[in-house]
């Protein structure tokens, strides 16, 4: 089923004509309203007028996470604050989050894209949507919520957590569509089993899962244990939030990018050169309809590939392959972006600690678990158990305060952390995904 038949099945030529027109408008607007873009374009000797075809996009400089950070919090907004009706944020590398804004029209656009997303994942007006994405600064919860309402479905805004209660509500309210992270889907399956609730007795038809990396094997496990069709969704707050791309339930082979709103490119992460269809590289997005927070050639650091072969669902939109990794060292822990440098800065801020550390990521009972190993040096060592336990608690609390995630802190002997060429290996990701 297709929510916006007209725009999702446009002939490529018509679609590309719309893209070019919208791109030109966006460039003109950011050049004149956002000082950063004017300076950035001028520095690279390019003016909005120089962009006469979609290929010309390559002449424009990239925008990076660092640029967003440098303009914290509202420096990249292209409209005055009185036109901004919503602010979201995601965690950044240095403690400061990445902040994005939406005008009323942006919210309307986003809501439509989420309605398209839900319908691509099998939802219709008559469905009850159990939305277990987190509500708050994170875009997941509210993105799905507005999409569900736009679609005309009934939404249960359950948010994350309190899993037993979620199962009870599933039994009593009979939701038909599940939206949450893939790892939470598996946790739901497990808790249901402990409670003696069989997912086959529930009414779910399909689920839309994302906000963290997962695999084809995980899809099969979710489909088997939850007795539903599972589709993958892609999005990031810098570009919009969820609803940038989604798999169709008909094919489940790659995620359709809503190209009437976003232009996607794949580049070589080292040289910045664009790569042809089918080749793996870094995903880059340009928004062409956003008002409050447009981004031009934003480097996502996500690794994917683009395919333009027609799809059996009828959509003419290009498809991106499931994201297979990152070009930086960012970890996604229970849907939260975590950079090792953030943990490092927490450790550095505690004056007595500047030790070697290592992050170990595991998936225990379907939930991500982050263990911070800290080598005990003479500065932090004490002869009493109490002092060392206080140190562990302090590290744990400071990380929780900064990143909002619970960790296990483990003190280890010096030289325990593996070093290669003198450099400690910072991250060991044991998750099988």
Partner 1 sequence: MKVEQISVFLENKAGRLAEVTRVLGEGGINIRALSLADTTDFGILRLIVNDNEKAKKILKENGFTVGKTNVVAIEVEDKPGGLARILDILYRAGINVEYMYAFVQQSGENAVIIFRFDNLDEAIKVLQENGVTVINGSKVYTL
Q: How far is the CB of 352 from partner 1 (least distance, A)?
A: 13
Q: Pick from 155, 248, 346, 374: which binds Zn ion (CB under 5 A)?
A: 248
Closer CB to partner 1, 356 or 431, in the complex = 356
| Least spacing, CB of residue 313 vs Zn ion, in Å | 3
Phi, psi (deg, nearest 5) at residue 139: -75, -15
Closest approach of Zn ion to the CB of residue 251, in Å = 4
Euclidean distance between CA atoms 334 and 404, whole angstroms: 10
Q: Give whichever of 271 and 384 is closer to partner 1, judged by the CB atom.
A: 384
Applying CB under 5 A, the span of 48-56, 135-143, 211-219, 304-312 interacting with Zn ion comes to: 304-312
Site for partner 1 contains 277 (CB under 8 A)? no
Least distance from partner 1 to the Cβ atom of residue 79, Å:
52
As measured in angstroms, the least distance from the Cβ of 92 to partner 1 is 31
Q: Which stretch binds Zn ion (CB under 5 A): 30-38, 88-96, 315-323, 390-398?
A: 315-323
| Shortest separation between residue 405's beta carbon and partner 1, angstroms | 20
Query: Rounded CA gap, 127 and 176, in Å?
Result: 6
Please work out the total of residues on this chain that contact partner 1, with binding judged by CB under 8 A: 18
Residue 4 to residue 41: CA distance in whole angstroms: 35
Q: Which is nearer to partner 1, 162 or 377 (CB)?
A: 377
Restricting to residues 323-342, name those near Zn ion by CB under 5 A.
none
| Coil vs helix vs strand at 43 | helix
Helix or strand (DSSP H, E) at 13: helix 12-33
Among 87, 412, 427, 433, binds partner 1 (CB under 8 A): 412
d(CA 407, CA 396): 6
The two structure tokens encoding residue 423: 């450099």
The rounded distance, in Å, linking the Cα atoms of 223 and 174 is 18
Q: What is the DSSP annotation of 160-229?
A: S--HHHHHHHHHHH--SEEEE-HHHHHHHHHHHHHTT--GGGS---EEEE-SS---HHHHHHHHHHHTSE
> Is 418 near partner 1 (CB under 8 A)?
no
Taking the complex as a whole, how short is the minimal distance between the CB of residue 249 and Zn ion, in angstroms? Answer: 8
Regarding 251 and contact with Zn ion (CB under 5 A), the answer is: yes
Stretch binding Zn ion (CB under 5 A), from 23-31, 209-217, 245-253, 391-399: 245-253
Record the tokens describing residue 110, joined without a space.
């986003």
Residue 262: CB minimum distance to partner 1, A: 47
Please give the residues from 350 up to 409 whose contact with partner 1 meets the rule CB under 8 A.
376-378, 381-386, 388-389
Q: Which residues of 7-39 are buried (b: 16+ CB within 10 A; e: fewer)?
A: bbbbeeeebeebbbebbbebbebbbeebebbee
State in angstroms the smallest separation of the CB of 129 from Zn ion.
21
> Measured between alpha carbons, how far is 357 from 298 in angstroms, rounded to an integer?
31
311 contact, one of Zn ion, partner 1, none, CB 5-8 Å limit per kind: Zn ion
Helix 182-194 crosses helix 163-173 at what angle (to 10 degrees)?
Answer: 80
User: Is 313 among the residues that bind Zn ion (CB under 5 A)?
Assistant: yes
CA 212/CA 232 separation, integer angstroms: 10
Among partner 1, Zn ion, none, the one that 399 touches (CB under a kind-dependent 5 to 8 A) is none
Regarding 311 and contact with Zn ion (CB under 5 A), the answer is yes
Binding span for partner 1 by CB under 8 A among 81-89, 134-142, 361-369, 411-419 = 411-419
The residue among 318 and 417 lying less far from partner 1, judged by its C-beta, is 417
Check if the beta carbon of residue 204 is closer than 8 Å to that of residue 214: no
CA distance 401 to 345: 13
10 Å Cβ neighbour count for 196? 7
Query: Residue numbers of the site for partner 1 (CB under 8 A)?
Result: 376-378, 381-386, 388-389, 410-416
Which residues contact Zn ion (rule: CB under 5 A)? 248, 251, 311, 313, 315
């Amino acid at each position: 089923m297709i929510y916006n038949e007209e725009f999702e099945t446009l002939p490529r030529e018509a679609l590309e004509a719309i893209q070019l027109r919208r791109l030109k408008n966006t460039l003109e607007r950011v050049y004149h309203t956002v000082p950063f873009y004017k300076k950035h374009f001028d520095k690279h000797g390019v003016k909005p007028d120089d962009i006469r075809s979609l290929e010309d996009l390559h002449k424009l400089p990239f925008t990076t996470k660092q640029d967003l950070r440098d303009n914290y919090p509202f420096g990249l907004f292209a409209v005055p604050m009185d036109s901004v009706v919503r602010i979201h944020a995601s965690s950044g590398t240095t403690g400061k989050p990445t902040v994005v804004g939406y005008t009323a029209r942006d919210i309307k656009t986003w809501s439509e894209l989420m309605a398209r997303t839900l319908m691509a994942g099998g939802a219709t007006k008559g469905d009850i949507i159990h939305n277990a994405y987190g509500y708050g600064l994170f875009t997941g919860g509210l993105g799905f919520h507005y999409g569900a309402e736009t679609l005309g479905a009934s939404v249960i805004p359950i948010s994350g957590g309190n899993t037993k209660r979620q199962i009870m509500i599933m039994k009593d309210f009979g939701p038909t569509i599940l939206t949450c992270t893939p790892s939470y889907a598996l946790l739901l399956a497990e808790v249901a089993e402990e409670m003696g609730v069989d997912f086959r007795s529930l009414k779910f038809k399909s689920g839309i899962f994302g906000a963290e990396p997962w695999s084809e094997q995980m899809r099969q496990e979710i489909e088997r244990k939850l007795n539903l069709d599972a589709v993958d969704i892609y999005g990031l707050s810098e570009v919009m939030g969820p609803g940038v791309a989604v798999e169709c339930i008909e094919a489940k082979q790659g995620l359709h990018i809503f190209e009437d709103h976003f232009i996607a490119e794949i580049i070589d992460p080292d040289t910045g050169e664009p790569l042809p269809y089918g080749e793996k590289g870094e995903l880059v997005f340009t928004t062409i309809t956003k008002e409050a927070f447009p981004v031009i050639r934003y480097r996502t650091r996500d690794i994917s590939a683009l395919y333009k072969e027609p799809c059996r669902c009828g959509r003419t939109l290009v498809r991106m392959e499931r994201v297979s990794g990152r070009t930086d060292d960012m970890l996604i822990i229970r849907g939260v972006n975590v950079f090792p440098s953030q943990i490092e800065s927490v450790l550095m801020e505690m004056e007595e600690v500047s030790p070697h550390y290592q992050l170990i990521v595991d998936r225990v009972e379907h939930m991500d678990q982050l263990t911070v190993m800290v080598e005990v040096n003479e500065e932090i060592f004490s002869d009493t158990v109490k002092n060392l336990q206080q140190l562990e608690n302090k590290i744990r609390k400071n990380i929780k305060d900064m990143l909002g995630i619970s960790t296990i802190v483990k003190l280890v002997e010096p030289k325990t952390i593996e070093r290669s060429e003198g450099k400690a290996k910072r991250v060991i990701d044991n998750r099988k995904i």
